[in-house]
Amino acid sequence: MDPGALQPKFRGCLVGLALGDALGAPFEGARAVARAEVFAAAERREVLRYTDDTHMAIGVAESLIACRGFNGRHMAETFVRNFEREPWRGYGPGPPRVFRRIKCGTPWDKAAQDVYPGGSFGNGAAMRAAPVGLFYHRDPEKLREVAYLSGQITHAHPLGKEGAALEAYAAALATVFGPSGSSEDFLARLKAFVTEEVYREKLDRVGHLLGTADAAAVAARLGNGIEAFNSVPAAICCFLRHPGSFEDAVVEAASLGGDADTIASMTGAISGAWLGIGGIPEEWAARLENRVYIEELALGLWEAALA
Ligand code: AR6
Ligand code: MG
């Protein structure tokens, strides 16, 4: 693929991730809402502010760019530094505890081991994984390895790390194949990629949800909770139900209720990578907090990934 053609997709992915996060944020922890409510909440706000999902994805991108690839210690220290600057972004309960351990000298790959029994399977590793997918879009096995390792910093449970790999791979596939690729092929590649049964089984259900008009069935059949296996499949499903429209995909994700900001953020990253920055409504992007910096990071990732 022409490297120049990838640049708008890198920009679309990161801007889409942050916008999905910002559009879903008012509905985090809520019941399902109508699409019109999501649009109305976006209209009311002068600045579309993002949360920890984007803040951590920024850290992933900053570290991949600075190190020209994955460096666990550097990425962990970047997370800690960013958290200390903006601890009010709405972080989950686990990561701040992990950050304290890292500050006290626990190695980056050990600090998250026992924050929960067996490590965390929250969606915090998956929500920040799209930059890994961008950076390693040409090499799925390296992508998997780095998604697991970057996830391990805060999410040691295999299901937390697998969620990160699945979201990163979805973003990579969207970067490479959208917007002319087929949804069936996209879903088949994801199924062939995952190693954990719970994800494979949910991806099977995604296939059955593509034809239905009933958005409530997405949350009912796939989940919409904070666990990675109850949110990454829903995010992929919302994208695949509306591959041609960023608005429709992200607004549906934000309307599901539950962990709405994270699901919409993961959907937005995939949809933005698929359609490119030109597929994202400028009216929303213009109001995105730190849009200029987020686009700078996308360009930095693009340069580093193609170097
Ligand atoms: N056993 C039981 N519950 C668990 C386990 C486990 N092994 N692992 C996770 N949980 P955490 P995150 C549940 O704290 O993934 C922000 O709002 C447990 O209820 O690692 O970074 C973002 O926007 C735990 O509190 O944080 C996202 O929505 C929860 O999963 C979200 O937080 C989250 O795991 C990301 O959270
Ligand atoms: Mg959040």
Which residue CA neighbors atom 29 of ligand 1 most closely? 122
**Cα dist from 53 to 91, 127, 303, whole Å:** 8, 6, 23
Q: What is the pLDDT of residues 162-208, one digit of tens each?
A: 999 999 999 999 999 999 999 999 999 999 999 999 999 999 999 99
Q: What fold is seen in the domain 3-306?
A: ADP-ribosylglycohydrolase fold (1.10.4080)
| pTM for the model | 0.98
Q: Point out the ligand 1 atom lying closest to the alpha carbon of residue 118.
A: 7
Lowest mean pLDDT among 105-109, 213-217, 256-260, 282-286: 213-217
Does residue 1 register a pLDDT over 80? no
pLDDT of residue 153: 98
Give tens-digit pLDDT for 250-291: 999 999 999 999 999 999 999 999 999 999 999 999 999 999
Say what the pLDDT of residue 233 is: 98
Q: What is the average per-residue pLDDT within 20-38?
A: 95
Mean of the per-residue pLDDT values for the chain? 97
Residue/partner pairs of 75-82 with CB below 8 Å, 24 or more apart: 75/108, 75/150, 75/153, 76/102, 76/108, 76/111, 76/153, 77/102, 77/108, 79/153, 79/154, 82/55, 82/56, 82/58
Domain ranges of the chain: 3-306
**Nearest Cα residue to atom 25 of ligand 1:** 93
β-strand partners of 227: 122
| Atom nearest to 123 CA in ligand 1 | 15
As a residue count, the chain comes to 307
- pLDDT per position as a tens digit, 76-103: 999 999 999 999 999 999 999 999 999 9
40-50 confidence digits (pLDDT tens): 999 999 999 99
Ligand 1 centre from 94 Cα, in Å?
6
CA quadruple 97, 103, 106, 112: dihedral sign = positive
What DSSP string describes 168-206?
Answer: HHHHHHHHHHTTTS-HHHHHHHHHHH--SHHHHHHHHHH
Closest residue CA from atom 26 of ligand 1 = 92
CA–centroid distance, 94 to ligand 2, in Å, is: 13
Amino acid at 113: Q
- Radius of gyration of the CA atoms of the chain, in A: 17
Q: Do 211 and 251 form a contact (C-beta atoms < 8 A)?
A: no
**CA 24 to centroid of ligand 2, rounded, Å:** 9
Q: Evaluate whether 164 touches 129 at the Cβ level (below 8 Å).
A: yes
Token digits of residue 272: 């933005």
Q: How confident is the model at residue 2 (pLDDT cuts 50, 70, 90)?
A: confident
Please write the tens of the pLDDT for every residue from 133-174: 999 999 999 999 999 999 999 999 999 999 999 999 999 999
Rounded to a whole number of angstroms, the distance between the first and last alpha carbons of the chain is 14
What pLDDT is recorded for position 201?
97
**pLDDT for 213:** 83
Confidence of residue 126 (pLDDT cuts 50, 70, 90): very high
> Ligand 1 centre and the CA of 92: distance in Å?
6
**Residue 116 alpha carbon, nearest atom of ligand 1:** 7
